[in-house]
Chain A
């Protein structure tokens, strides 16, 4: 076991710290949230130049073939800087599905686009009333027609879909078990998006699919393999988001540590009061345990499905609760200022709350781990 960073990891982190320290913080964030997709496309292009978008893409198609540990380390820095770019969905999740897709020509072309920053892809899987962790769908279905398929259905809360040119849509294929994963251009006839912002400034969309005609090459995976692939991809995206949460918590702690030394009441810095000190100590413990669980999830990322899922849920549980403890107490020690848009802590609160809800919330992961323990 070795926690030391490799040369490549050190270079990656140095470049990330450099770029993001110039362009981060609340001022930067406040400018971005009014842009159409909630982030700056020029900075996305810089992500591409620095090789970040190629990181999880296989080397054979122009990527860097980085490990999930590399991805996590980068995402810690993104989380610190409150980056709203769709890294987890459009890079980590999409690259994993495309990297394993059946039709190589279409998939390799798309992977090249992810790596060079010209193409963003979002997942459209969640449906209203469905279990977000279930690798099956109810309403959305694909009917074989001619050489291809006709897709009908509706999706909810497709994260980062407003800024994506293509969607990976999960659907039941008529007459088949398992799950079909389709690559669908957003501009295809019959696709309608209703886009909206989330509280953290990122974007999502509800999607209607009405008689969407797709060629056979649009089918990325089907059957049990489709479900398995989606599960793996969601778990990888989940790791990236957990890394962002860890980064966000560590940054929030630093901000709070500084604030309580500056803020004076009763003639003294409030950080001199033991009541405040113990809140910060709790926040430190929580963030430290959160990082430990990110490591646990990483160490188990390639284990067989059941163990991987249990490790991931355990990590989501600790990180989700830690994120809440840190951000709630972070507002508390800021007093009224913690509720303002001006102070960074309110942004970290919104980000950590949103992260906790993605790809299965705390309650779901508690349930899944509990069932695993007594399976």
Chain B
């Protein structure tokens, strides 16, 4: 048992930090740091992917033959941590962390050659069409159908909560190709071009003023049959593979650590009765709990990355990451809002320009905190609600 970090990794961290500093354009970083919405940066996201790709680091977690870096899990952890700490744009997770791994694991040579470079080079955003109005937690009941007619699938149905669909040229969808077998067996994984006739996207105005989540209506949409990934009827298996593959992503540990650092800035900057909030023992206690809980989450991530031998299935440890990761995202964003007091209730649709001077009443850290906290209520809902995760845990850890 060796729990201290390999000192070599510190050199790696310095190399990555220097690299990001060299290639991340200052204007892009500034826009990221000052954005008031969660997902309003499609252009920067794709530009950033292209920059990373020029250096062979757009998809470091992929196998080397498809453009990965061959790094260890710990190196990947550090890479992601440094990206977030530097306020780099988010990855398009749908493409890089969901569709890409399914294609290189199960896709035909045609799909690999056509789509993997497209994802790696940041040519487009990808819409993820899983949930339906009647199929949320019970995803296997989905009804959007794809019927094989000649060399095309004809798709009919409706998807919802399809993030980024309005900005995406392409999407990947779970569709029902066989209604005669048990629900999980009849689902397939299909790539659809979003400008195909019959595809209609409607943005959903959200609690925080954004409209990133969408409804997608599919009305006799004709899709070339070779855009079905792997075998028909295996879509559910591939979707489960994704969850296996991306066990630690759902922890959002890098994101929450950065937001905790931001909360500390707010606590030092905001004053009441002439004293910074950070001097208040009640505030300090709240920070102590959150910091300790995030450390626990971080070590739980490291345990999964290092494949610690456990008495319970590894999937149980993954559900712990999802539950705690989502709860802590909510706690850290609500702490930020609470520290701002009534200032936190002011609505900002854009960050003021030019940025205020540091001693002004509305410091630069105010805009965006509440809009992000509002949409972060989604964290315990998407990707398997907290309650579904607890059902899974009861089964895996206790056999209930």
Contacts and interface: CB of A to CB of B under 8 A. Distances in A.
Interface of A: 1-6, 9, 69, 73, 253, 257, 260-261, 271-272, 274, 276-278, 280-282, 284-285, 288-290, 292-293, 295-296, 298-299, 311, 313-315, 317-318, 366-367, 369-371, 373-374
A298 B4 CA distance: 8
B287 A370 contact: yes
B169 to A, nearest CB: 40
Contacts of B394: 271, 277-278, 280-281
Nearest to B323: A285
A280 B309 CA distance: 22
A373 B286 CA distance: 11
Contacts of A261: 399-400
A37 B250 CA distance: 49
Report which residue of B291, B296, B306 has the largest number of chain A beta carbons within 10 angstroms of its beta carbon: B296
Contacts of A318: 292-293, 295-296
Contacts of B267: 374
B118 interface: no
A288 B390 contact: no
A5 B1 CA distance: 5
B284 interface: yes
B398 interface: yes
Report which residue of B288, B293, B297 has the largest number of chain A beta carbons within 10 angstroms of its beta carbon: B288
B3 A1 contact: yes
Interface of B: 1-6, 74, 264, 267-268, 278-279, 281, 284-285, 287-289, 291-293, 295-300, 302-303, 306-309, 312, 316-317, 320, 323-324, 387, 389-391, 393-394, 397-400
Given A261-B399, A289-B320, A369-B291, A374 B299 contact: no
Nearest to A303: B4
B284 A367 contact: yes
B303 A292 contact: yes
A1 B296 contact: no
Contact of A289 (B284, B302, B324, B397): B324
A293 B324 CA distance: 14
Contacts of A276: 400
A76 B280 CA distance: 37
Given A2-B306, A278-B394, A289-B297, A374 B3 contact: no
B1 A277 contact: no
A292 B284 CA distance: 23
B293 A289 contact: yes
Contact of A284 (B2, B285, B303, B398): B398
A278 B298 CA distance: 23
A317 B142 CA distance: 43
B1 A9 contact: yes
Report which residue of A69, A317, A369, A374 has the largest number of chain B beta carbons within 10 angstroms of its beta carbon: A374
A272 B398 CA distance: 11
The 3 closest A-B pairs by CB, nearest first: A370-B284, A277-B394, A292-B299
Contacts of B297: 289, 292
B289 A272 contact: no
A67 to B, nearest CB: 8
Contact of A317 (B74, B292, B320, B323): B292
A69 B1 contact: yes
A246 to B, nearest CB: 12
Contacts of B312: 284
B391 A277 contact: yes
A278 B319 CA distance: 13
A280 B1 contact: no
A238 to B, nearest CB: 15
Report which residue of A73, A290, A293 has the largest number of chain B beta carbons within 10 angstroms of its beta carbon: A293
B1 A369 contact: no
A1 B302 contact: yes
Nearest to A371: B284
A280 B391 CA distance: 10
Given A272-B400, A298-B3, A374-B287, 9 more contacts: A1-B74, A276-B400, A277-B400, A281-B391, A281-B393, A284-B397, A296-B299, A374-B267, A374-B278
B88 to A, nearest CB: 25
A288 B391 contact: no
Given A282-B390, A317-B292, A369-B288, A1 B400 contact: no
A159 to B, nearest CB: 24
Contacts of B300: 288-289, 292
Contact of B317 (A73, A281, A288): A288
Contacts of A314: 288, 291-292, 295
A66 to B, nearest CB: 12
A317 B285 CA distance: 11
Nearest to B72: A1
A373 B291 contact: yes
Given A5-B1, A274-B391, A373 B284 contact: yes
Contacts of A73: 1
A271 B296 CA distance: 28
Given A3-B303, A280-B398, A373 B287 contact: yes
A285 B291 CA distance: 17
B279 A374 contact: yes
Report which residue of A257, A277, A371 has the largest number of chain B beta carbons within 10 angstroms of its beta carbon: A277
